[in-house]
Amino acid sequence: MAVLPITVYGDKILRKKANKVTEVDLKTIELIKNMFDTMKNANGIGLAANQVGSDKSIFVVDISQVEDYEDTKPIALINPKIIERSEKKVLIEEGCLSIPDVREEVRRPESITIVYHDTDFNEHTLEADGLLARVMQHEFDHLQGVLFTDLISDDLKKKYKKDINRIRKRKIEIEYPITEDMDYQLA
């Protein structure tokens, strides 16, 4: 499979709402495999399709490299929809492959219930909590055109303004490939 360039802050596709997948064909399977390869190459634990230039409603998660989550299987979620969120919220630091070197605490529900299709297009309902719920909410937001920096205070947004501008202008040094063009999108 292939490692794809990751879209970064400022790339237009990151602000587009993803399109529903109507069938899982070989191209979709290839995209998912490439997303797993790209995420692993960048040492990520979650990746949404728009982060690799695709407008499909898909994200992948693999938290098995994180302590205490070694037995958690990697998962691809097609057309995910969060149908329930816990009232209890927790504040945890987040980062994003599309916003490298920016990390900040974000308040999110501690647990969720999510409905999605697998690669055979079978529907599943999954209850998730802890890190898995956190990553799934982060990636689900990507598919809505929302970045984690949208969820922090205006003061913190000001704090990271220079960093964000460096990312937008691609004046950053990172260990994985990023897009060269803000209009980047897979065909």
The catalytic residue positions are 139
143 and 114 Cβ atoms separated by less than 8 Å: no
36 and 77 Cβ atoms separated by less than 8 Å: no
Residue 56: DSSP 8-state? B
Residue 4: DSSP 8-state? P
Map 147-184 to HEC letters.
Answer: CHHHHCCHHHHHHCHHHHHHHHCCCCCCCCCECCCCCC
- List the one residue out of 128, 96, 98, 89 whose CA is nearest residue 9: 98
Residue 66: DSSP 8-state? S
